[in-house]
Amino acid sequence: MLRAIALATNAFYYHRLSVAMVGPAGSPLSPWIMPVIPVVGGLLVGLMARYGSDKIRGHGIPEAIEAILLRGARVDPKVALLKPISAAITIGSGGPFGAEGPIIMTGGAFGSLVAQWLNLTDAERTTLLVAGAAAGMSATFATPLRRSCWRSSYFFSSGDRALSSPSLCEFDCRSATDRVAWGWTDLPGRVALRHPHGTDTFGGCPTGILVGFASAGLSRLMYGFEDAFEHICGRLHVHWMWWPAIGGIGIGQGGFFFPRGLGVGYDNIAELLRGNAPIGLLVGLLLAKSLMWAFSLSSGTSGGVLAPC
């Protein structure tokens, strides 16, 4: 998935075939052309959703949970193929999303397909779906223990602890495979962090409270945009197939004024962790990137939320 995103980014913004990890902000294209690229990406994703499978819309994790709760962990085979392609196109064309949610949904789809092929029970299908989703999450972060906690909070709220062992096994195996294959040790751009002191706790508590309120505000903003899309586009009889392209307009306009808001933003995260981020980047991430993310994700395009958050 990450290589597919890199390939799409290079194709859209650098007009070359390469899997080098680059960001849209460094593109040599004219600033007047770059805002059009997210619209093209959104149009392609809308067409894939309309004529392929509408399950590729959204950021992946809710769709995986929905498959477990409402469809007996059955996932359409087309989702396993189209979800990673649509996410690569969306993010590669400048979408301010993460790869985590789509990878989780893709891994879960493959686990479900294996279970369906073997004619397993609903409970066994759920186990393999969660194992595949956990493997996808591990492939993204290569940190088994930390991501296991995330996976548990998402998928084990029903209290079915029987899923834990196979899921953790697949999770750890996938992580080890990626460490060997790609040489990753953690999030791209990892930096060494010092051991926290007691004074950091006093500073961290109010910061955590503030971020909690900010996250709640972002959630309300996104749901507000979703309601606006349904209300306005419904009254104008605009089919949902065109909504991701409309979301791409918001991405393009935001990227015109703040190019570093385009794409996943791992380079931004690394700069923040190093502690040398300029004030312009901080303000841009808090305002421009947040608005770009909330507006475009509300349009029903394909992309994740963890990296932007």
Q: How many CB atoms lie within 10 A of CB 66?
A: 12
Q: Is residue 18 part of a domain?
A: no
Q: Is residue 20 part of a domain?
A: no
CA distance 106 to 165: 21
Question: Which CATH number fits the domain that encloses residue 224?
Answer: 1.10.3080.10
Looking at residue 271, what is its pLDDT? 87
Q: Is residue 130 part of a domain?
A: yes
User: How many domains does the chain contain in total?
Assistant: 1
Q: Is residue 14 part of a domain?
A: no
At 58, is the secondary structure helix, strand, or coil?
Answer: strand
Q: Is residue 21 part of a domain?
A: no
CA angle 243, 18, 142 (to 5 degrees): 80
Q: What are the average pLDDT values for consecutive 10-residue runs of the chain, which has 309 residues? A: 89 92 88 93 94 81 72 78 89 89 81 88 84 76 54 49 44 44 45 62 82 88 90 91 94 93 88 87 92 91 81
* Domain enclosing residue 122, as ranges: 29-298
Q: How many CB atoms lie within 10 A of CB 43?
A: 18
Q: Is the dihedral of CA 147, 261, 60, 36 positive or negative?
A: negative
Q: Is residue 62 part of a domain?
A: yes
Nearest residue to 141 (alpha-carbon basis) of 131, 151, 156: 151
Looking at residue 288, what is its pLDDT? 92
Q: Is residue 197 part of a domain?
A: yes
Q: Is residue 7 part of a domain?
A: no
28: CB partners within 8 A, 6+ apart: 14
Looking at residue 154, what is its pLDDT? 53
Looking at residue 44, what is its pLDDT? 95
Q: Which amino acid is at 127?
A: T
